[in-house]
Structure 1
């Protein structure tokens, strides 16, 4: 009897300890073990296409497949790979998973169909930027260098695949496999939407009260009844996320007529009768103060990311020691521009001018570097032109910039020769450069929200505990005290 052959597709709500739903956009899948997450996905696929057409693999020796789906004619149509990680899936790990499936399909052709099969990666935490590029531009990024490196790593790792050599599998992996697969990435918010829409699965794995959609409830009762029910029930107290509950509880202490929307948030507690009496100068000061905290945090983040980019580029130069001196500066340019574009809600005054910003965001690493080569060559030429040994003393700023430019140009006298030499060197270190950029971009937030209050940790014991817990986590990551002694 095959493993899980007796598994009932109708979940039993009492079978496992359910996880509280914090009411975020993404459910806390990280608290599910790997097997439970695979079962969750199996339930969703079964309910979507019919249980008899979906198979849950055994969890060991699954050969790159956790769930497989067949069409109405019993032909393979979908392969699902589940990756319930604590961090985003990196490019190297993704290509290794693809190579593993390709190699098993080479050994056992029945694993894949003779026609195109959808390969779904269910990954709640998502993937890194470079891994996403591989998905969205498939099969452009599945180059010989990428596929061969993955095949060599995977064949060393798995006993069944140890005897396979690149020359033997090249055609199957590099040409046939891309034609057989159509990758699709399914991330946390999409998975959460599917789970919440399936009441059986939702109640099997998560702990929350399942109710009718809010718009349906509101349409069924009068505004007066709705207001009375909401006021009496204290619905926000059902939230299981401590931070959300504290914020909602705090907001609820302010009467509605003292909650004022400002340019980038809210100011609560000031009577509107007072705000109405502010003169132009006072109102301007009020509006600017209400946005100052957010802009100040943005500015601090941008400055920290700029410094960290310089540190990361320096570490790359020391560890890799590229044969062209402009490789690390080119990496620095790409890091800074990629970070600024990732901060999509960054206020315009902190954003550098970006011609064709959307094109840059969608560009490959090589194309991003190419966007900066002319800029770099021009900067170096200005450094050369701005130095006069008769005027500028040794160790002056002008003399230092001159020496930097001479080193970076590496003998090139034209943009074309500079670009050719730099691109040749960049190709040698492509993997290391992408990894360095990927690690750096992990530090960059996509969005930012700042909440401040007149109630501080000195007034609130729960907030004080929360602050100390936050500092403790930061000190573990930092390896030293986050605050100076």
Structure 2
């Protein structure tokens, strides 16, 4: 093949010098995502290549592009018969990838296939975009709604930009290529997005690859897990209530060599011998289900508390009727940020991942309220500048934002005046707002422990009675009542 061939520049194995070159292993903070952004571009591509080698084994032949080049593919996987079955493009970006950028990456492959029709054959060919930084919502829709959004109208400007930027496409005319790109290519390619959490699970499912790039183990050692469990049990046995006794009895009923620790979850009843024989996709599902119980509940709690913050701010506005409209907006943001600071602190390495929220949690309420005055002023100014009564109809989004900003500014034409008005409102309503803030934060959990079991209320009368009691308490709370703690 010629040097301009789509397949040129690929090797079946890492160059020995590159493979043996020392490279620092990154610390794993223990979060759902691994620090892929701290890898350089080449290390990230090598990671992708090694994962594909582990995934396919001897059933297919992954190849790796030599050096870092932006040609729309970093790893190509061939079947045992030499047919291209998968293309991997690595995008180690610090920000979310946009829809135009996603379309341009796919267009590079499409235009190469237009110039060299035998690249993809009759398909299907999986195209994986590895983007740990994530995608914007419009970009994600390119994948989720494929091929609905892959149209000539949506591609024209992006295609012309790609053709103009890359010398390899200097002979391409969009008018000639568009039919191939929008029909045969669309029918052959199968785009798949791989985000940060997805990739972290894949890496952790391959301990040897994980250990080559990161500095902690996927699974906590059995001895360490057992020691942690014994500590929990020792603390729980000091309790006298029936719930604690039930949990202690259940934990003690499992053999000590069948207790595994998976990031944020203890899994009891499975032997290391069994889990050690899981296929990569089975282990991936196992880890996902193990950690989703807590993270899923945290997601639900965060969404509910966000709604409750808005309701608390609305209740303040309707009962106190402050003359300064902006104070309600600031109060709503203060509640939400206080909640997020507490919820984030629960996450593995949460304080390290969000240091500003950790700092926020240490501030007194008086400093939290109005902490982003300048930011809000700038936001209101953008809302005013973005509205044109000749272009935007009443009820349109720009017109609606204009009215909100106008009301919040309350006649203030300078930042100094806006800040002064807000300060006066804080002095007037501060004590009441702090009281409401404390009442709201009393609802936000400081820690969450989820215990799930194959023994259910359907198997135990005691558990059924306890569940009925719990549902009764929740029903009272829904009706606005209160429950006395015994």
TM-score calculated relative to the size of structure 1: 0.48
Q: Which of structures 1 and 2 has the larger relative contact order (alpha carbons within 8 angstroms, sep 6+)?
A: 1
